[in-house]
Structure 1
C-alpha cells in the first residue's frame, strides 16, 4: 500500500474534526490559505502555501490564549508533481516542522513553496 499526499493532508487536518472554527482575519497573499480551530485545550492552525516558488511568513495573533507548548508537521516537496511510488513510498510524507515561533501570544510560521503545515498549540 502507498500512502498518497492526500492521505497525509487528511492526517494533518484531523485536529480540526469536531473542533470549533475560530474567526481569524489577516493579510495573506492570494496563494496562502489557512484555518484555525479550537478543541479542548489546544488550537490547531493549518496553513497551505500554493506558491510554486516563494516561501511565505504568516503571523497569527491569539491575545486571549496562553500557550504551554506546540508541535508541528509539514507536507512539502521540491516538485509540483511529486508523488509516492512503490519504489519511493515516502517521497512525499508528513515530517516534523520547526520553522515557527511563539512569542507574546503570536504564532509566526514560515512555509516553503508547495507546502501545507499544521501547528498544534497546547494550553490554550
Structure 2
C-alpha cells in the first residue's frame, strides 16, 4: 500500500511539473494570442475574456531553438466557450502557429488555419 501511495504521489508531481512547463512556454503565449486575435474565434465566443491551458491535454517538444507543440486551450468569451487546438512550430527560437481549429461545445469543428 505504501508503494502505491508513493507511486501516485510521484505521478501527481510529474504531471503537475509537466503542466507548469507547458503553461510557462513561450509557445502557449503565441497560441493564446493567436486565438484571442482571431476574428472567427470572436464570431463564435464573442470578446475573449479568458484563455487557459487544459491540463494534461497538450504536448511540447522543445529542443532549445527548435521544437513543436500542440496546445489545447479553453477559450471563454462573452457569448460562449470553445476549445482551441493549436499546433505550433519553433524555428530559430521563434514560435509560429502552424495549424489551428476550434472544437465547439456541440462538438462541431471550425478550421482556423491549416
> Does the pair score TM above 0.5?
no
> Which of structures 1 and 2 has the larger relative contact order (alpha carbons within 8 angstroms, sep 6+)?
1
Normalized per residue, which structure has more helix? 2
- Higher alpha-carbon Rg: 2
What TM-score comes out, normalization by structure 2 length?
0.31
What TM-score comes out, normalization by structure 1 length?
0.29
